[in-house]
Amino acid sequence: MANITKKVSWSSRADESSAAGEATPLINGSEKRQHDGEVRGAVFQTGRLSNVDLEEITSDEESHRGHPKEIPHNEKLLSLKYESLDYDNIENQLFLEEERRMSYLGFRCLEISRWVICGLIGFLTGLIACFIDIVVEQLAGMKYQVVKENIDRFTEVGGLSLSLILWAVLNSAFVVVGAIIVAFFEPIAAGSGIPQIKCYLNGVKVPRVVRLKTLVVKVCGVICSVVGGLAVGKEGPMIHSGAVVAAGVSQGRSTSLKRDFKIFEYFRRDTEKRDFVSAGAAAGVSAAFGAPVGGVLFSLEEGASFWNQMLTWRIFFASMISTFTLNFFLSIYHNNPGDLSNPGLINFGRFENDSVAYYLYEIPLFIAMGAIGGLLGALFNILNYWLTIFRIRYVHRPCLQVMEAMLVAAVTATVSFTMIYFSDDCQPLGPEHTEEYPLQLFCADGEYNSMATAFFNTPERSVRSLFHNQPGSYNPLTLGLFTLTYFFLACWTYGLTVSAGVFIPSLLIGAAWGRLCGILLSAISATGSIWADPGKYALIGAAAQLGGIVRMTLSLTVIMVEATGNVTYGLPIMLVLMTAKIVGDYFVEGLYDIHIKLQSIPFLHWEAPATSHWLTAREVMSSSVTCLNKVEKVGTIVDILSNTSTNHNGFPVVVSQSDSAKLCGLILRSQLIVLLKHKVFVELARSRLTQRKLQLKDFRDAYPRFPPIQSIHVSQDERECLMDLSEFMNPTPYTVPQETSLPRVFKLVRALGLRHLVVVDDENRVVGLVTRKDLARYHLGKHGLEELQLAQT
């Protein structure tokens, strides 16, 4: 009895096959129409579920095929696939009893274990970052060495087109591996993962986003795509990895590996898990950029609904530990153990003291650069938006996705090679060998091809050399061409089915045009020596471009400041990011928000849309709510739960008095399933007095993968039994009257992380239910308030 996992088939397979059943609407009161055979069969196997529909026309769904209600995918949809997380504690009797039993000492222990978990999260995240870094460095080093030797040989004897093919094939090979594991094993691991983590912290349960399998695929995938020479970075995936680590560690078990360590059981619920996930995301940022404070601010900016001082302090602890771990292991790897001063996966390097100087008259220039960054960022986002729509509509089969990734890899190599081949920009080799893989090609002996430092390198190194190389190591034409090609390559690459981040490519594009600006400025004013350092402008350009694309503000400023290790640049970077955001927002949203929208995720922003005050709860809510009685027949419950057309997750519990049914509580689908599983029926309790009472532990054991209703067998006899819900339901659900305005409802749901908000009339009768999707569908479009439509995806 201790471990339910043993008894039910909780495997992911079972749960996928019932995706239509489980991964569904939290909207109570919405019914959905099933169109079999139309949707991807792999995900939806709705056929085997019984379609017991009450009122609507599911039987003649065939006739609906050509119905205009089927529209091409666009951004104005909300998917039914996404549920809310239960951030609000279910304060039922069991919970209260347990809390009351716990002594002061018990709470102290919990607090301590929270700290321990945060430490572990930081440690493991740092280890993963270290692993990725080392493997990428080794593999990329090998690849570039092979290609370089090949190019050197063929420059002499002829046949450089063979080198080109070799390079393209090597790239494609790595990328194909990465794309296959992502496309076929864990599609959620595609992309940077930041949008998904943002959604998770926002309260959306993105299926499979924090699983161990996702982590493995993510790590391998990012290694493959970076080594494969795509225009990507490994920083975004680090954040996702940190989040997965956090979600795993805090639960003290792995459902995928079927191991339960029997620790941290108290934390097996969404509220606690969210806090740890935000710590994990922070640890990821901190490992990626060597920016612990930036990490904390990132998870506050993107995730937390309200500021919790103790939580923030714990998050900071996790971030610090993560940076420390990464430093420590990298120092061992670099053969000077104990040197902890070289943090971050991407290390922008220290700016020399004389080059950090900036003067008042440069501020307008920085702001102008911010505006350019905003414009270019908006262009990037718009292009990527169209590309992503195309991809969702037409390139949705896994094999096509793999093929696309392969082609992008090959083209990236080709373009890079052509650029290098036709570049006439030769620079003398520096004494300290900053160029890792200098390509000579047609340059004079003792010189290297300057274009090759930008293209024939991992993106991080390119960024660093753009920041720090001597003035004069690039000529303007090289930088211009590089910016242009890399801009389109990066834009094309983001959104492929490989796990890869957009941070580094953005920085690289920005650094290239920023450096170009610096060079041009110093060319214009021949006298001023202050203009002479193009590295400074490269940094500002990088900040502007990144800000223009992702539109983060506070955390990005701090991350940039920390990654350069130079607080002197705080002001210009802040100004630049502000300008970039203002300019960019005029045209289009940030890249992450675009992708969240395109995935039809019901994301709640900070505030309700500005012009929504005239809407009230009555108009917002879903109505005709399926309610349960306090003592309900098992058969009724089973029927309601297995009705695929009304796949609700929360059910108001009512007591019928004379003619009216008054609200007395709220119960969740997951709780009902556990109750059914354990057969907590009134009749059985009477007959077996000795039966063990159901405890909170039983619910926790089932968390987070509750079995689908189909896997629970209820016999005919049992259907006639009764179930007493009073002990398990949440007797104090949040309710609002019908006249409550939308912003007020919104605030309540957003701030408290509610999943269901019951709308009642003046006699406390249930009239409707407000859920995340009811609120998320309003958004401010070009023509005022618009409403998103619900759709099956």
Partner 1 sequence: MPLYHQYVFLTVWVLCVCAVASSEGANVNLSVSVESPVLKPAAVEEDSSAPFLLLSAFPDDLEVSDYCSELLRIFGQRYVAYVNCLVPSARPVKVCQNCFGAYGSLVATYMNISSEQLGPGNESCRDSLLRSDRLMLVYLLFNNLKDLWTKSACDKCINDRFQSLTNDTLYFMSSLNQTLTCFDRYQQGNHTELCKNCKSAYKGLNELYSSMEKNDSMCIDIEDGMNMTRRLWSKNFKCSFPREETVPVIAVSGFMLFLPIIFYLSSFLHSEQKKRKLIHPKRAKSYASSLMNIQDKQS
Shortest separation between residue 444's beta carbon and partner 1, angstroms:
3
Shortest separation between residue 382's beta carbon and partner 1, angstroms:
18
Contact in structure between 113 and 204 (CB atoms under 8 Å): no
Contact in structure between 96 and 186 (CB atoms under 8 Å): no
DSSP designation for 233: B
Q: How are beta strands 628-629 and 650-657 bridged, if at all?
A: parallel
- Among residues 157 and 526, whose Cβ is nearest to partner 1? 157
- Among residues 306 and 394, whose Cβ is nearest to partner 1? 394
In degrees rounded to 5, what are phi and psi of residue 723? -125, 130
- Among residues 425 and 562, whose Cβ is nearest to partner 1? 425
Distance between CA atoms of residues 319 and 326, nearest Å: 11
Contact in structure between 368 and 362 (CB atoms under 8 Å): no
Shortest separation between residue 614's beta carbon and partner 1, angstroms:
6
The string of DSSP codes covering 107-121 is HHHHHHHHHHHHHHH
Distance between CA atoms of residues 11 and 429, nearest Å: 58
- Kindly state the tokens that stand for 26: 């939290």
Shortest separation between residue 421's beta carbon and partner 1, angstroms:
6
> Which among 397, 514, 132, 488 has a CA at the least distance from the CA of 287?
132
Distance between CA atoms of residues 256 and 249, nearest Å: 13
- Among residues 156 and 762, whose Cβ is nearest to partner 1? 156
- Kindly state the tokens that stand for 701: 């054991």
Question: Which residues 6+ apart lie within 8 Å of 353 measured at CB?
Answer: none
**Which residue bears the tokens 């499979």?**
208
- Among residues 294 and 650, whose Cβ is nearest to partner 1? 650
Contact in structure between 722 and 635 (CB atoms under 8 Å): no
Distance between CA atoms of residues 117 and 314, nearest Å: 10
- Among residues 111 and 619, whose Cβ is nearest to partner 1? 619
- Among residues 359 and 614, whose Cβ is nearest to partner 1? 614
Shortest separation between residue 165's beta carbon and partner 1, angstroms:
6
Distance between CA atoms of residues 664 and 644, nearest Å: 26
Shortest separation between residue 396's beta carbon and partner 1, angstroms:
5
Shortest separation between residue 83's beta carbon and partner 1, angstroms:
15
Shortest separation between residue 381's beta carbon and partner 1, angstroms:
20
In the three-class reduction of DSSP (H, G, I as helix; E, B as strand; rest coil), residue 628 is classed as strand
> Which among 242, 693, 782 has a CA at the least distance from the CA of 501?
242
Shortest separation between residue 281's beta carbon and partner 1, angstroms:
30
- Among residues 156 and 659, whose Cβ is nearest to partner 1? 156
> Which among 740, 729, 677 has a CA at the least distance from the CA of 706?
677
Shortest separation between residue 574's beta carbon and partner 1, angstroms:
37
Contact in structure between 180 and 162 (CB atoms under 8 Å): no
CA angle (103 as vertex; 97, 107 as ends), nearest 5:
100
- Among residues 131 and 154, whose Cβ is nearest to partner 1? 154
The 3-state secondary structure of 644-706, one letter per residue = HHHCCCEEEEEEEECCEEEEEEEEEHHHHHHHHHCCCCHHHHHHCCCCCCCCHHHHHHHCCCC
- Among residues 11 and 624, whose Cβ is nearest to partner 1? 624
- Among residues 214 and 416, whose Cβ is nearest to partner 1? 416
- Among residues 396 and 662, whose Cβ is nearest to partner 1? 396
Shortest separation between residue 145's beta carbon and partner 1, angstroms:
14
Shortest separation between residue 609's beta carbon and partner 1, angstroms:
12
Shortest separation between residue 624's beta carbon and partner 1, angstroms:
6
Contact in structure between 224 and 232 (CB atoms under 8 Å): no
Distance between CA atoms of residues 198 and 301, nearest Å: 10
Q: How are beta strands 756-760 and 735-737 bridged, if at all?
A: parallel
- Among residues 707 and 768, whose Cβ is nearest to partner 1? 768
CA angle (89 as vertex; 85, 95 as ends), nearest 5:
135
